[in-house]
Each structure stands twice: as C-alpha cells, then as structure tokens.
Structure 1
Amino acid sequence: MTLTPQFLDELRARTSLSTLVGKTTKLQKAGREYKGCCPFHNEKTPSFYVNDAKGFYHCFGCSAHGDAIRWMTDQRGLPFMDAVKELAQAAGLELPAMDRQSAEKAERAKGLHDVMADAAAWFAEQLGGIAGAEARALLDRRAITPETARVFGMGFAPDSRGKLKTALKTYGDPMLVEAGMLIQVEGKDPYDRFRGRLMIPIRDARGRTIAFGGRILNQGEPKYLNSPDTPLFDKGRTLYNLDRAAPASRKAGRVIVVEGYMDVIALAQAGIGEAVAPLGTALTEAQLERLWRMTDVPILCFDGDAAGQKAALRAAHRALPLLAPGRSLSFATLPAGQDPDDLVRARGAAGMEAVLREAEPLVQRLWASELAAEALDTPEQRAGLRQRLNEAAGTIADPSVRSEYQSEFRRRFDLQFARGPRPFVPFEKRAPFKKGAWKPPIAPVGAEAKAVGSAGIDRVLAKAVLAGLIRHPAEIARHVEILSSLRLVDGALGRLFEAVVDLALEDQALDSARLLTILARSGFDGVASDLLRADSMPYSFTMKIADPVIVRSDLDEAIAILIARPEVDAALGEATAAMQARFTDEAFERQVALVREKQALDVRLANLVQANEDARALGAEGD
C-alpha cells in the first residue's frame, strides 16, 4: 500500500490529539491548549503542552515534540505502520487498498493472530484448573503472584500430545502448524508442540500474542522451549515484554536488557517495568536498533555467571559497528552466580537499583575484558593487547566515534603501562649528582620552563623528541607504533620525523652518527644538524652527555605528553563550544576536568624541563 501525504494529513485531522494523549497522561485545560507533566521525562511542574488546533504536542523541559503518529511510535513504541493502522481504525478511516499479494498476506496474518490469542486464553484457563496445580506451585516457589501471572498472561500446557489441537480444531491443522502450535512430522499426525510446561506469551509492540515460551516444571531439557519462527514471529527481531516496557522506559528514561522471561517478570513485579529480554539467542543487530529507538544507552544486565558475562561481551562487540554519537550501551554487573530474579527476591528493587547505578560504559567493559584476557608481562603481550583494542575500535563505522575510541584506548594504554608523571622534587631533597656535602639553594623555575605552554607545546615538544630520537635511535623501536601514526607536525620537520622512524625500523642497530650520514644523503642535513645543535633545549634526551636511564625515562614521558596533549586540547575545545552553546552543570564539569587535565600535562612537562635545568645548574657549580 502507499500512504500519501493527503491520507496522513486526513488521519491527523480526524484524530483528537488531546484525547489520544489523555488516555495515558493526565492533562488539564490551559486556555486553548492542554498541559500536564511530560511522559517522556520525570518532572513535578507541568511543562508538556498539547495543541489540538495545530495537531502537535511539545515539552519545554525535554523538547519532546510530535503529532499523533509520532506519539504512537515514541510513547507507545509502535512501528510506523502499526501506529497508522491503529489510528486509522480509531478514526474510522480506511487504509489505502493493498495489492492482492499483500492483502492475502494480511488476511493470513489476521487468522494467525486469532490462533495465538485463543491459544493464550486456553493456556491461561488450564493454569487456573486442576491440571495447573503443579505450574501454580512453581510460580509460588518463584514468588510470582497470581496478579503478576495474570498481567503477563501466563498459562499451562498439559502434558498431552493432542489437547491443544483438539481445543483449537476449528482452525485446522495446517494453520496451527503455521502458527507454531503443532509439530508436523512426515508420515505422522501433527501433535502439540508445548507439553507439560508453564506457558509465557510473547507479544509484539501492540500487545498481540505472536509466540510462546514454555518452561519445564521440574528437571529436564530443554529448560525453556520457544515457538519457532513463523509469519508472525521472528525471534531475532523480537524483544520479550516490549509492549509493556516501551511506555515504561519513556517515564524511567532507560531500558534494561536481561537474559530471560522470569527476570523480566520478577523485575516488573518489583516495580521495574522497563525491562526486556532477547529470546534464547544472542542480542542481534535488529534488537539493538529497536532498543536504541527507546533510549540512547540501554543497560545490559545479564547473569553474573561466566555464561552471562560472555553473552554481555558478545553484545558489546556486536554493538560496535552500529555505534553513533550519543548512542552506546552500558553494563550492570550482578553478584557472581545471581540473576535479576535472584537479586530482587533477596534484596528487593533497592538491591537491583544499586546494581544499575554502578553500570559501566561500553568502552570500560571492552577495556577491562581485553586487559584481563591474558598476561601482559612482556612487550609482545602488551603489543597484542594494543592490537586487539585497535581491531575492536576499527570495527566502528562512524568515523567520529571510531576516532574517540582509538584515542580513549590509547590514553588508557599509556596510563596503564607508561611511567606516570614524575613528581617535582625540590633540589635540596635530591641525591647530589657529584660527591660533596654542599648543596646549592633551590633553583628558580627558568624562563624556558615558563615559556613551554605559550610557545606551542606540540611543535616545540615534537622538535625536542625528534632531536632525542636522533641522538638515541635505539629508543625508536620501543615507541614504533605511536611514532608511526604520529601526525602532529608538518613540513620539513614532519618529513624528517617519518624518515628517522623509517630508517630506524630498517636497521635497528643504527647509531646516531650513521643515522645522520644517511639523513644527509637524503637531503635532511641542515634540519638534522640544527636539531643536534639543540643542547639549549631543556631536556636530558637532547644533550650529548646524559645518564641513559634518565634519558629513557624522560623520553618516555615526553612522548606520552606529546600524544596526550593534542587530544586533551581538542576535547577541551569541544567542551568549551558545547558549554557556550548550552550551559549545563555537566558541560561545565567536563570543561573544568579537561582544564585540569591540560594543567596536569603542563606540570609534567615543566617537571622534565626543571629537572634538566637543575642538573645544568649543579654541573655549572661543580665546574
């Protein structure tokens, strides 16, 4: 069918928006409009307005805005076509005619919906009868109340091969097989799929039963049995409890993904209604996309055992290619060996909320899992970690998010394995460089140290690091991955940087003199010579004579600062722009945190400069 703009305009005109919204949201007349507390975020003072004349709603608190169709998709969580169909039915408006094939498909689907509705009613009836005593006892043991069982439409399938078939015989075996309620085996009569199980209806976004999950009452396998895929049911695209969780998530501002039916039901009974579950499979891309339509950062709360945590990690990797600015996942870790059902029965909703408050972002879950994957004692093992992190970030399709993950993984790697900032130690507390009891007074901070920040840290420091690498080519191999990807300088200095790295990689036994000779033949004589006359540079690694241990330590620190500073500057620029565009506490706190991080980098660099100036002063006094 084709939905023309004229048809959609007519549909909106025939729909009283205030009546539609008023079914689930309390509204009060306010002049020509209606107002109430916004259903899309928690508020105490009404800032949500509905205007029937103009046909839209708007919240001045969270900027939620839309018409009748948007209300059905955003607040009710319906797919677009389902929203249009429901509104058209309520307005007495016929949908545009479908082609023959689509009409036949719709008619067949209608019949299958009837089958599933009648099956759900029959199972519920059996649960309340004599035969359902054992199933009711299971619900009692799981602390599921009769009211909760009713809300979720729970039922019981007798341990028989033909009772459901007989009860629904008017539909005929072919339709019952197509609906997944009977099993067809070649050469035998079809028989009931679900036998001797607690039955849990699976509903679509409109609340219609489309499939079932059946839990065995005692011991046995499989513990859970789901309907097969049918014209109504695609388990890779369906989330259990979506119909009830979608509106609940609008109010709560979150959606929680758990592993199983009983987890969802237990959470709902405890007052946490915004939970859904995949249906016996790993979380799929289609299910992730459906979750992101509900909230930007769904919370995955899988079981605390090894299998549950592996499932969470699989979901994390599956989500990576789909990430977008502002769209991610977070992960709540349950106590070992517990699932949400266990937790709320033991500690109630407060216990679950405590776990949810500690949910960690996707980047932390990936970092922690790779960090714990294997020992990291050798350079090869650490290189393996770096490679795995780069490969994970490389799967992200969005370039801006991919860049942020690469930067974040690099920052965490450097913090984990690189030497941290060397604390400034006053001269009188340091061990003397030469023998003797006399100690000079504390040297003041030199002009070079004070000018580091104002002179442009990237180019100044890049020049010093390059001079250090030319003096100490053996150090290049230890930082080859970072140096190979370095793009902080351009022009002659940048080309020289690349040449020095390439030459050192070709010949790792290269010393400074041979490196200079090769560079001179390649046309870099003047630039390289200027750098090596840079004993005025305030770093140990640029000096002709220096302690090798100090050189290595200071060069490590300088390279770490060289990499980190542009990332901090860029992030600070974005945070400042964001705060200027819209001042919020969060934006201000981020800007302050980045300013402090930038200042910390300045202190680290100043420590390198100051330590070398002190060493020079002491050398001069000793002379």
Structure 2
Amino acid sequence: MTLSPQFLDELRARTLLSTLIGRSTKLQKAGREWRACCPFHNEKTPSFYVNDDKGFYHCFGCSAHGDAIRWMTDQGGLPFMDAVKELAQAAGMELPAMDPRAAEKAEAAKGLHEASADAAQWFTDQLNGLSGATARDVLTKRGIKPETARAFGLGFAPDSRSGLKTALKDYGDPLLVEAGLLIKVEEKAPYDRFRGRLMIPIRDPRGRTIAFGGRIIGEGEPKYLNSPETPLFDKGRTLYNLDKAAPAARKAGRLIVVEGYMDVIALTQAGFGEVVAPNGTAVTEAQLERMWRLSDVPILCLDGDSAGQKAAIRAAHRAMPLLVPGRSLDFVTLPQGQDPDDLVRLKGPAAFEALLASPEPLVDRLWASELAAEPLDTPEQKAGLKLRLADLAKTIADQNVAYEYQAEFRRRFDETFRPQRKAFEPRAPFVPGKRGKFGQPYKSPIAPPGDGARGVRAGGIDRILAKAVLAGLIRHPAEIARHMEVLGSLKLADKTLGKLFEAVVDVAAEDANENMALDSQRLLTILASSGFDIIAHELLRADQLSCSFTQRDAEPIRAREDLDEAIAILVARPEVDAALAAATAMMQANYSDEAFERQVSLVKEQQALDARLANLVQANEDARAFSTEGN
C-alpha cells in the first residue's frame, strides 16, 4: 500500500486534533487554542497546547510536538500504518487499495483477530464461572484484585482437550490451529493447546488480543506455556502490556522492564503503570528498539538469582551494537530470591521505588561482569580483561559512543590496576634553634622550601618536562587559567622557554579579562605575532615526553588530569631538590638523627616524584596500546 502526501494531508485535515487528544487528556480552552498539563511529562502548570487551525500540538516544557498521526504513534504506541488506519476509519476515508495478496493477508488476519478476541472472552467467562474457583483462589493468594484481573483480561482454561474447540467451532479447526489456540499432531484431531492454566492475553499496541500466556495451576511443566508464533504474534517483536504501558511511560518519563507477566500485573496494581515484559524469551533487538521509542534509558529490573543476572548481561551485550548518543539501558537488581511481585507484596511500592531511584548504568554492569568473569592475578589475565573490554567497545556501531566506552573502560582499567597518584605535600620547614634527638643544636637551619626555593627553580626545573607542559598548555589553553598563579611564578634557566611561558600566561590573562574563549589556534596566532611562531610549532611537533596532553587526539578529560599532574610535578621537584640540598649541607656540617631522617624523607619524596612522572608516561603508552587494540 502506498500513501500519497495528498492522502495524508486530507487525513490530517479531517481529524479535529482537540477531539482526538481530548479523549485521553483533559483540555481547557485558551483563546483559539486548547491547553492542558502535558501528557508526555509530569507538570503542575499547563504548558501543552493544541491548535486545531494549524493541526499540531506543542509542549513548551518538554518540546513534544506533532500532528494527529504523531499523537497516535507517540502517545498511543501504534505503528504508523495502524495509526493511519484508525484515523482513516474515524474520518470515513477509504485507504488506497491493497494489492490482491496484501488484501488476502489482511482478511485472514481479521479472522485471526476475531478468533483471538473470542477466545479471550471465553477464558474470562471460565474464570468467573464455577470451573474457575481454583484459578480465582490462585489470584487471591497472589494479591491480585478482581478489578486488576478484569483490566488485564485474565481468564482460565479448564483441563479439557476440547472446551475451547467446541466454543469456537464456527471458526473451523484450521483457523484455530493457525491462531495457536489448537494443536494439530499428524493425523489426529486438533485439541486445545491451553488446559488447566491461568490465561493471560497478550495484546498488540492497539489493545487487540494476538496471543496468550498460560500459567499452570498446581503442579506441572512447563510453568508457563505461550502461544506459538502466528501471523499475528511474533514473540521476539512483542512486549507484554505495551498497549497500557506506552502512555504511562511517556507520562512517567521512564519505562520499567521485568521478566514475567505476573510481575507486570503486580507492579501495575501497585501503581507502576509503565511496565512491560518480554514474552518468555531473552530481550531481543526488536524489543529494545520498541523500548527506546518510549524511553531513552529503559530500566531492566531482573531477578537477583543467577538466571536473572545472566539475562541482564545478555540484554546488555545485545544492546551494545544499537547504542547511539543519549540511548542506553539501566539495571536494577532485586534482593536474592525475590521478584518484583514478591517485593511489592511484602514491602510495598515504596521499597520498589527506592530501587528504581538508584539504577546501575549499562557501563557499570558491563564493567562488573567482565571484572568478575575470571581471576585477575597474573599479567596474562589482566591482558585478557583489557582485550575483552576493547572487543566489547568495538561492537558499538556508533563511532562516538564506541570511543567513549573505550575511553571509560581504559580509565577504569588504569584506576584498578595502576598505583594511585599521591598529591605532593611539602614538608613543614625546620625551625631555627630546634634541637635534635640527642640534644645537639643545629648550626645551619634549613630555609622553607616555598618562596625560598624559587631561586633554585631557575636551575632545578626539568627542561624536558617544562617543554611538554608548554606543549600541553598550547593544545589545551583553557587549562592555563586554572594554573595561572603557579605558572606565573616559574622561572626557567632557558630564557626562551621562560619568555614563552610568560607570553602564554599573559595571553590567557588578557582573554580572561575580556571574557573571550581562548582556543589553541587563536593562542598560536597571538604567539606568532609576538615572535614565538617557530618555537611554539616546534614544541607541538617535537617528540616530547609521551603524555596524553601532548597528543593531538587525546581524550580531553584524561589530558586535563594528566596536565594537572605534570604541572604539580614540575612545581614540586625544584622545591624538593632545594630542601634536599639544604638538608645534605646541614648533615655535612653537623650530623643529627633528625637531620638524617629529614634527608631520607626528602630522598623518598624525590623518588616518589620520579615514579609519578614515569607513571604518567607509562599510563599514556598503555592507553595508546589499548586504543590500538580496540581498533
């Protein structure tokens, strides 16, 4: 079937939008428009407007916008063609003619829909009749109220091979077999598929019964029996309760995904209308796409047992290739041995809401899973973890999201297996006149390493590290303002580097005063006008220390953290060197235990700074190796 733009325009023109929306949303007249509290998000002051003349609705709070067809798909949860068919029927318009094969298929589907609807009604009648007493007791024990059972169309299939077959005999056995209501085995007469079970209708987004889930009453296997796949029912593309959950999810701003039918029913009864479930299968790609139409980050609430956690990881891995910016999954794990039905019955809705308040992001669930997958005691095992994480990030089709996952996995790997950096804390200065452990007076006190060490900085600053820091500041000029004071106090023996440091700080200070954003290209242009063109470009081209902040394509957050660390080392090292030189001179002049301890501690601080610098370089080399493996 082909729908022309002219047909769709006529359909919109014949649909009074305020009447359509007013069926489910209370509208108030506001001049030539209508207004209401937005049905797409929670609000107390109306910001949702409907304009019949222009044929669209708009919310100034959440930016929801669309026409009659969009309303049916977004708020009603209908596929596009179903939305058009429903609007066309209401408007008295004939849809364009189908090709013969499609028309025949539609006619067959009509019969299947009718048979399924009649079967649902027959099951409901049995639940409410004499034969349904045991099934009603089961619902009562599970805390399911009669009004909830009616809302979900619950029913009962008696333990009979021909009860439904006889009730629906006018449809004929072949159609009932095709609808999944009867079972045909070889040459034997077809018989009822569902027997001795609590019946749960499965509906499409329009609320039409398309299949059933049957829960055994008493002992027996399987515990749940679902309809087979039919022309109406594709279990991998269907979500249970989608027809009711779609509008509730848009209003609540979230979608909750649970494992089973009874979980959905219990949670809905407890006030959580935005709940769906897969149909006895692992979550599929098609189901994920349906979820994302309702919520950017659906919450998968799975049981705390081993099976539930395995299902969570399968869903996480299945979602990875489909991720795009802003679209992900969250996870909630229930207490061991409980499902959502148990939780709300035993502890009430507040207990479940508390779990939903702090879900686990997808990246956390994946990281925890890979970390626990196998021991990580040897270098080989750690390398295996790194490779698995890189391979996992590679499965994401969207390159931006893949890059972010790769960077996040790398950061977590480094934090877990690399020594934590310890910020340099200068030792307190010795006080003149203070006596040593054995009472000997100091003949030569050590000056404080702060301001007094600035004279030493001219010869003590690591020239190679200073060049790397300069290159980093030119690549990331926004960081200059954060270190303005300490950078301004540096004095280098290399006058050219020293003047370049001063020029970089001066340019950043002037732009800050004028509230201008300083980027790398602008900084280079200004430096060139001051005669620093050649040296600045040489710094960027030269093979400096292998640090993230000197690389052109470095991850911004990591570059910023590493640049902070490099500047801290650059400033601290001359002070430690100066204090050590003074301590050594004192030791030579007059030995004391306290002076010796001071000298040893300063040597350790010197070694710690060297280790921090080596760690900075090694971390970058590992990161580049990780990135190469990931690509």
Q: Give the TM interval when normalised to the shorter protein.
A: 0.7 to 0.9
Q: Residue 61 of structure 2 corresponds to which residue in structure 1? A: 61
> Given that residues 427 and 441 in structure 1 are in contact (C-alpha distance below 8 angstroms), is that contact kept between their aligned partners in structure 2?
no
Over residues 219-273 of structure 1, what are the superposed CA-to-partner deviations in whole Å (9 max), with x where a residue is unaligned?
2210000000000000000000000000100100111110000000000000001
Query: Distance in 2 between the 1:210 and 1:29 partners?
Result: 39
Query: Distance in 2 between the 1:159 and 1:569 partners?
Result: 65
**Equivalent residues in 2 for 1:370-389 (5 A)?**
370-389=370-389
> Given that residues 449 and 579 in structure 2 are in contact (C-alpha distance below 8 angstroms), is that contact kept between their aligned partners in structure 1?
no
Q: Residue 616 of structure 1 corresponds to which residue in structure 2? A: 577
Structure 2 residue identity aligned to 1:359: P
2:445 is equivalent to residue 457 of structure 1: no
Q: Residue 277 of structure 2 corresponds to which residue in structure 1? A: 277
Query: Distance in 2 between the 1:74 and 1:265 partners?
Result: 23
2:217 is equivalent to residue 217 of structure 1: yes
> Given that residues 322 and 396 in structure 2 are in contact (C-alpha distance below 8 angstroms), is that contact kept between their aligned partners in structure 1?
yes
1:301 counterpart SS class:
strand
Q: Residue 356 of structure 1 corresponds to which residue in structure 2? A: 356
Over residues 95-124 of structure 1, what are the superposed CA-to-partner deviations in whole Å (9 max), with x where a residue is unaligned?
111111000000000000000000000000
Q: 1:440 to 1:357 in 2, by over 3 A?
A: same
Over residues 447-495 of structure 1, what are the superposed CA-to-partner deviations in whole Å (9 max), with x where a residue is unaligned?
759978972327899xxxxxxxxxxxxxxxxxxxxxxxxxxxxxxxxxx
Q: 1:442 to 1:335 in 2, by over 3 A?
A: farther
Q: Residue 137 of structure 2 corresponds to which residue in structure 1? A: 137
Q: Residue 449 of structure 2 corresponds to which residue in structure 1? A: 443
2:58 counterpart SS class:
strand
1:455 counterpart SS class:
helix
Over residues 406-453 of structure 1, what are the superposed CA-to-partner deviations in whole Å (9 max), with x where a residue is unaligned?
0111111111111222121223489xxxxx987733323647599789
Structure 1 residue identity aligned to 2:20: L
**Equivalent residues in 2 for 1:188-227 (5 A)?**
188-227=188-227
Query: Distance in 2 between the 1:181 and 1:217 partners?
Result: 19
1:166 counterpart SS class:
helix
Structure 2 residue identity aligned to 1:175: L
Q: 1:602 to 1:442 in 2, by over 3 A?
A: farther
Over residues 517-566 of structure 1, what are the superposed CA-to-partner deviations in whole Å (9 max), with x where a residue is unaligned?
xxxxxxxxxx9xx98xx9xxxxxxx9xxxxxxxxxxxxxxx858879994
The Cα shift of 1:612 comes to 2.9
Q: Residue 128 of structure 1 corresponds to which residue in structure 2? A: 128
2:586 is equivalent to residue 567 of structure 1: no
2:95 counterpart SS class:
coil
Q: Residue 333 of structure 1 corresponds to which residue in structure 2? A: 333
2:565 is equivalent to residue 604 of structure 1: yes
Q: Residue 72 of structure 2 corresponds to which residue in structure 1? A: 72
Structure 2 residue identity aligned to 1:375: P
Q: 1:439 to 1:401 in 2, by over 3 A?
A: farther
> Given that residues 548 and 562 in structure 2 are in contact (C-alpha distance below 8 angstroms), is that contact kept between their aligned partners in structure 1?
no
Over residues 367-393 of structure 1, what are the superposed CA-to-partner deviations in whole Å (9 max), with x where a residue is unaligned?
111112122222111111111111110
> Given that residues 37 and 44 in structure 1 are in contact (C-alpha distance below 8 angstroms), is that contact kept between their aligned partners in structure 2?
yes
Query: Distance in 2 between the 1:4 and 1:562 partners?
Result: 57
2:414 is equivalent to residue 404 of structure 1: no
Q: Residue 108 of structure 1 corresponds to which residue in structure 2? A: 108
2:28 is equivalent to residue 13 of structure 1: no
**Equivalent residues in 2 for 1:153-302 (5 A)?**
153-302=153-302
> Given that residues 466 and 570 in structure 2 are in contact (C-alpha distance below 8 angstroms), is that contact kept between their aligned partners in structure 1?
no
Instruction: Using structure 2 for the length normalisation, give the TM-score.
Output: 0.75
Instruction: Using structure 1 for the length normalisation, give the TM-score.
Output: 0.76
Q: 1:170 to 1:328 in 2, by over 3 A?
A: same
Q: 1:112 to 1:439 in 2, by over 3 A?
A: farther
2:121 counterpart SS class:
helix
Query: Distance in 2 between the 1:439 and 1:220 partners?
Result: 89
Q: 1:6 to 1:161 in 2, by over 3 A?
A: same
Q: Residue 85 of structure 2 corresponds to which residue in structure 1? A: 85
Over residues 280-319 of structure 1, what are the superposed CA-to-partner deviations in whole Å (9 max), with x where a residue is unaligned?
1110000000111111111100111110011011000000
Q: 1:452 to 1:132 in 2, by over 3 A?
A: farther
The Cα shift of 1:609 comes to 2.7
Q: Residue 552 of structure 1 corresponds to which residue in structure 2? A: none
> Given that residues 427 and 614 in structure 1 are in contact (C-alpha distance below 8 angstroms), is that contact kept between their aligned partners in structure 2?
no
Query: Distance in 2 between the 1:559 and 1:456 partners?
Result: 10
Structure 1 residue identity aligned to 2:565: R
2:198 counterpart SS class:
strand
2:41 is equivalent to residue 35 of structure 1: no
Q: Residue 51 of structure 2 corresponds to which residue in structure 1? A: 51
Runs of 5+ unmatched residues, structure 1: 431-435, 462-526, 535-541, 543-557, 571-596
> Given that residues 418 and 560 in structure 1 are in contact (C-alpha distance below 8 angstroms), is that contact kept between their aligned partners in structure 2?
no
More divergent stretch after superposition (449-458 vs 256-265) = 449-458
> Given that residues 469 and 567 in structure 2 are in contact (C-alpha distance below 8 angstroms), is that contact kept between their aligned partners in structure 1?
no
> Given that residues 182 and 190 in structure 2 are in contact (C-alpha distance below 8 angstroms), is that contact kept between their aligned partners in structure 1?
yes
Query: Distance in 1 between the 2:445 and 2:89 partners?
Result: 92
Q: Post-superposition, which runs of at least 4 consecutive aligned residues in structure 1 deviate over 6 A?
A: 436-439, 449-454, 458-461, 560-565
Structure 2 residue identity aligned to 1:56: F
Q: Residue 589 of structure 2 corresponds to which residue in structure 1? A: none
> Given that residues 422 and 604 in structure 1 are in contact (C-alpha distance below 8 angstroms), is that contact kept between their aligned partners in structure 2?
no
1:10 counterpart SS class:
helix
Structure 2 residue identity aligned to 1:259: E
RMSD of aligned alpha carbons: 2.8
Q: 1:237 to 1:440 in 2, by over 3 A?
A: same
Query: Distance in 2 between the 1:564 and 1:122 partners?
Result: 70
More divergent stretch after superposition (604-613 vs 328-337) = 604-613
Structure 1 residue identity aligned to 2:172: G
> Given that residues 565 and 601 in structure 1 are in contact (C-alpha distance below 8 angstroms), is that contact kept between their aligned partners in structure 2?
no
2:348 counterpart SS class:
helix
